[in-house]
Amino acid sequence: MKFLSNRYLILGAILIILAGGLLLLPKYEKQEGIRSKQLLSHAISPERYISTDDISHKIISQDPSFILVDVRDEESYNNYSLPNAINIPLSKLLDEDSLTYLNQDQFDVVFYSNNTFLADQAWMLCDRLGFKNLHVLKGGLNTWYTTIINPTKPNEAMPETEFKLYSTRKAASMYYGVAYPDQNFGNDLPTTPETPKKVVTVEKKKKRKAEGGC
Amino acid sequence: MGPLIPGGYIPLEWDSIIAIFIGIAFGFVLEASGFSSSRKLAGVFYGYDFAVLKVFFTAAAVSVIGIYYMDYLGYLDISKLYVHPTYLWGAIIGGIIMGAGFVTGGFCPGTSLCAVAIGKLDAWIYVFGIMVGVFIFSELFNLFEPIYDGYNFGNITLIDSFGWNPYWVIFIFTIIAVLAFGIADLVRKKIKSVFY
């Protein structure tokens, strides 16, 4: 009972000790964005990659639902890139201007680089931040070149599907301006330059006004 | 995790229902602690009863310490909590008016409704006064609008605006609170006890 007579002193002391405890807590960096488990499940999902054939088909059919993002440096982008791609070098990935393209849920974003290395890094960073509809071009521009631009002719022992694929790819490559000796084009097919897409950014939901008082 | 509704753990539709239950609990506790007595509330201004000061200081200290521990342990995301916007001059003028009403009427708006619920006549008059005030304010809103809408500093906190370390702010606040409790007790022991 003696103990209880000092109860206000004890309660006051507990408050001060708890508040002081906050000061002594070791500092740690708070995790931003999605949790590691979610990141892992996204990373191993097969939907993460999109094949060169699919992208080629989308470009030819002028599918408006995606944005191609070239994450290589500006010089490589100017040398060669896919039609209608925008250039966001990896170092500028988190710039304000880039985020308007990446942080939206209107379009599928397809990252690509020479192989998948830089594109995967870009994908990982953006996924971590919780951006939606992110994809990586499987194999990058190297695979693009060996499958779409310069497809290898299947030999006779191969199944029919390979031949079909080859003719599709060959037709696609002609769309991208490759001339074949057996075709009678005078010059490269001109690809019409298109204006970059207008991207609608996601607006953060406004907080509801709370009213309070005593 | 947390806060539960913005975090999507409880659907938004439950918002008002939960608010009603919290409101009932709040009213019950106010009434049970004697906060529907205007003498008790005015006592803090006249210096014979510091229950209001102690209760609100304790509530603030306990919740801020609890929230920061929960934030540290990852149960709550402090950045998602709603911060009421600061309308500087509106708050200063409104504070003076409310303080004057508080000390003359012996209620704050919340406790006046508690007292209405237990049938106190002075509380009925007080709430009627609030309504008159609301009416005058609404009728003259055009006149007051520049003060009401102006000087909005957004949803800021002391910690954001001065760049203070929140943990130090909490620690110092807690010490001030505990000192205030001690001083209030000393004052209470010195003065003649008021019977009400």
Compare all CA atoms of chain A with the CA of B68 and give the residue at the minimum distance: A22
pLDDT at B40: 86
pLDDT at A40: 86
In angstroms, the Cα distances linking B19 to B56, B110, B122, B139 are: 20, 14, 27, 30
How many CB pairs below 8 Å do chains A and B form together? 52
**Is the minimum CB–CB distance between B133 and chain A shorter than 8 Å?**
no
pLDDT at A149: 84
Question: Does the pLDDT of residue A209 top 70, yes or no?
Answer: no
Q: Which two tokens stand for residue B123?
A: 């509380």
User: What share of chain A in percent tops pLDDT 90?
Assistant: 6
Compare all CA atoms of chain A with the CA of B180 and give the residue at the minimum distance: A12
CB contact under 8 A, B170 and A22: yes
Question: Does the pLDDT of residue A214 top 80, yes or no?
Answer: no
Give pLDDT tens digits for A135-155. Answer: 999 888 888 888 888 888 888
Q: Which of residues 161-180 of B touch A (CB under 8 A)?
A: 167-168, 170-171, 173-175, 177-178
Q: Which pTM was predicted?
A: 0.59
Of the candidates A148, A140, A145, which has an alpha carbon nearest to the alpha carbon of residue A172? Answer: A148
Which residues of chain B make contact with A213, given a CB cutoff of 8 A?
A: 108-110
A179 vs A84: CA distance, rounded Å: 21
B120 vs A48: CA distance, rounded Å: 67
Question: Does the pLDDT of residue A4 top 80, yes or no?
Answer: no
pLDDT tens, N- to C-terminus, chain B (196 residues): 677 877 778 888 888 899 999 999 999 988 888 888 888 888 888 888 888 888 889 999 999 999 999 988 888 888 888 888 888 898 999 999 999 998 888 898 889 999 999 999 999 999 999 999 999 999 999 998 888 888 888 888 888 888 888 899 999 999 999 999 999 888 888 887 777 6
- What's the full length of chain A, in residues? 214
pLDDT at A188: 54
Cβ atoms of residues B122 and B105 within 8 Å: yes
**Is the minimum CB–CB distance between B30 and chain A shorter than 8 Å?**
no
CB contact under 8 A, B65 and A25: no
Domain layout of chain B by residue ranges: 16-185
Residue A111 forms beta bridges with which residues? A69, A136
CATH number of A47-202: 3.40.250.10
B185 vs B189: CA distance, rounded Å: 6
Compare all CA atoms of chain B with the CA of A31 and give the residue at the minimum distance: B74
Instruction: Give residue ranges of A with CB < 8 Å to any B CB.
Output: 8, 12, 15-16, 18-20, 22-23, 25, 207, 210, 212-214
Structural element, H or E, at residue A50: strand A49-50
Highest mean pLDDT among A12-16, A127-131, A158-162, A164-168: A12-16
pLDDT at A210: 58
- Dihedral sign of CA atoms B35, B41, B44, B47 in order: negative
pLDDT at A163: 87
Give ∠ CA B78-B82-B85 in degrees, rounded to 5. 125
Which residues of chain B make contact with A210, given a CB cutoff of 8 A?
A: 82, 84
Give pLDDT tens digits for A46-103. Answer: 888 988 888 888 888 888 888 889 998 888 888 888 888 889 888 888 888 888 888 8
- What's the full length of chain B, in residues? 196
Q: State the DSSP string of A78-131.
A: HHS--TT-EE--GGGTTSHHHHHHHS-SSSEEEEE-SSSHHHHHHHHHHHHTT-
Q: How confident is the model at residue A156 (pLDDT cuts 50, 70, 90)?
A: confident
